Amino acid sequence: MANVVLVHGMRAGGWLWHEVTNQICNAEHKFFTPTLTGLGVRAHLLTADINLETHIMDILKRY
Tens-binned pLDDT, residue by residue, of the chain (63 aa): 778 888 888 778 888 888 777 777 656 777 888 889 998 889 999 999 999 999 999 999 876
- Classified as helix, coil or strand, 44 is helix
Cα 50–chain centre separation: 15
Entry pTM: 0.66
**Nearest-5° angle of CA 48, CA 51, CA 56?**
145
Q: Which residue type is seen at 20?
A: V
**Nearest-5° angle of CA 30, CA 60, CA 63?**
25
Cα 49–chain centre separation: 19
Domain boundaries of the chain, sorted by first residue = 2-62
